[in-house]
Amino acid sequence: MERFYFAIEIIDITPRNDALTAFSRTPVLFILLAIAAGLASPAWAQSAVADGQKLAFDRGKGNCLTCHVIRGGDLPGTIGPELRDLKAKYPDRNELAAIIFDETKRNPQTMMPPFGRNRILTEQEISAIVDFLQTL
Amino acid sequence: MKARASILLGSLSAALVAFALTSPRVVAADKVDPVADARAFQNFFFQKFPTVKHEDFVNGPYSMNEDMKRQWQEKEEFPPYEFALDAGKEMFATPFKNGKTYADCFPNGGIGIRQNYPYFDDKEGKVVTLELALNRCREANGEAPYSYVKDEMASLTAYMAFTSRGKPMDIKIPDDPRALAAFENGKRYFYTRRGQMNFSCASCHVQSPGERIRAEILAPALGILNAMPIYRSEWSGMGTTSRRFVTCNSQTRAVPLEPQADEYRDVEYFLSYVANGLPISGPGARP
């Protein structure tokens, strides 16, 4: 299945500059979401983790397995590092959210797609994935 | 950790090469230097994969992985492209309605010439690929053109590649500003990031050859066209260079061009030129 990595639909090129529009409200939203996650009941958090895992594994969404080994996922790629012990490495969840939002900020040559900047994932979706990543 | 460090290092040096190849020359800003580019390009791969024999780079993902290579060599005993090869041979020998044949359209009757395509046509001022030349041959003889992506076109190019196996790629860039511009344009297309995923061709085939993207092992950009056309199980059939370009673009959510669009012709010119000296290995078979 040559369709292994990304969904087949063809989407128009997203203008590079959408970072400008997306960025202004990002920090506030992330903080709000972080607070919400912090205050949430364990049951709520549980479902965010499950949602995050689904989003991370979904070929039409995060499709993180294309490049990363992730516990619980099949047929991972080897382009990125295995995703594990991330809570120790990035104690601040905003760091993880920023990597998913646009890793080219840290590393302009990275292969990792700018999921937030290019609107592949919404901020809520990124936040759920961060919840999931913190359990790895 | 170690794996990670080497991945990062690998992409760093890839980045340097990509940078060296794409950044406008600071000193001689408008000097296009294909000879220097090809040398840098080849050296990058030779240094990144010191154990891969130079002539092996033309075997795509198989050059990167011993297990896969073994499976492939077993498969080559009954190659899945054989039917296309037979069909291509027959088509090549069958006259058009006007009595002429493909052989009349090509130097040396079309035999053993794959390594010279694409070439720069100075009358048209553009790059002419083998697929394009085949359809032009048909049209000049009153026949309808074939689809660029598979079937008949793949059979014809499979046969022409087969008669050229082992010959070193030998692409010429005449001292003509339009030819140099075509080369430069192909190079630019190859290194430009595009689409929602923000990948360039180089992201996958320069930065990450040998890595798995899901279950597939990425082919190195060096010699990446020498094995075309290829049989792929996923396609349950053959695909041409045009098909592969369109597929790579659309699977990464970038807008594909029309087969044989000027930019694809230029990319083919660039990728073929930097593979000069490496043997034709087509037609190929892929998992």
Residues B113 and B107: beta-carbon distance below 8 Å: yes
Selecting from A4, A7, A111 the residue whose C-beta is nearest the C-beta of B215 gives A4
Q: What is the pLDDT along chain A (136 residues), one digit of tens a residue?
A: 333 333 222 222 333 332 222 333 344 444 445 444 444 455 666 788 999 999 999 998 999 999 999 999 999 999 999 999 999 999 999 999 999 999 999 999 999 999 999 999 999 999 999 999 999 9
Structure tokens at B200: 């360039």
ipTM confidence: 0.86
Is the peptide bond prior to B283 cis by the omega test (within 30 degrees of 0)?
A: yes
Give A41→chain B minimum CA distance, Å: 35
Structure tokens at B196: 């929602």
Residues of chain A with Cβ-Cβ distance to B11 below 8 Å are 109-111
Q: Mark out chain A residues that contact chain B at CB-CB < 8 A.
A: 1-14, 65-67, 75-81, 104, 109-111, 113-114, 118-120
- Best A11, A17, A111 member to test B by mutation, with max B CBs in 10 Å, is A111
Give B195→chain A minimum CA distance, Å: 4
- Residues comprising chain B, all counted: 287
Residues B61 and A2: beta-carbon distance below 8 Å: no
| pTM, 2 dp | 0.85
* pLDDT computed for residue A15 by the predictor: 30
When the pLDDT of each residue in chain B is averaged and rounded to a whole number, the result is 90
Query: What is the mean pLDDT of the segment spanning B60-65?
Result: 90
Write out pLDDT tens, residues B31-62. 889 999 999 999 999 999 999 999 999 999 99
Q: Which residues contact B193 (CB under 8 A, 6 or more apart)?
A: B199, B200, B203
Cβ separation A4–B214 shorter than 8 A: yes
Angle formed at CA B31 by CA B26 and CA B33, multiple of 5 degrees? 110
Q: Is B136 left (phi over 0), alpha (psi -120 to 50) or beta?
A: alpha
* pLDDT computed for residue B77 by the predictor: 78
User: Between these two residues, A15 and B235, which has the higher pLDDT value?
Assistant: B235
Please give the Cα distance from B161 to B105 (Å, whole number): 16
Above pLDDT 90, what percent of chain B? 79
Long-range Cβ pairs for the range A11-18 (8 Å, 24+): A11/B195, A11/B196, A11/B253, A12/B255, A13/B194, A13/B195, A13/B196, A13/B254, A13/B255, A14/A118, A14/A119, A14/B196, A18/A117, A18/A118, A18/A119
Residues B238 and B149: beta-carbon distance below 8 Å: no
* pLDDT computed for residue B30 by the predictor: 61
Cβ separation B253–A67 shorter than 8 A: no
Please name the amino acid found at residue A23. F
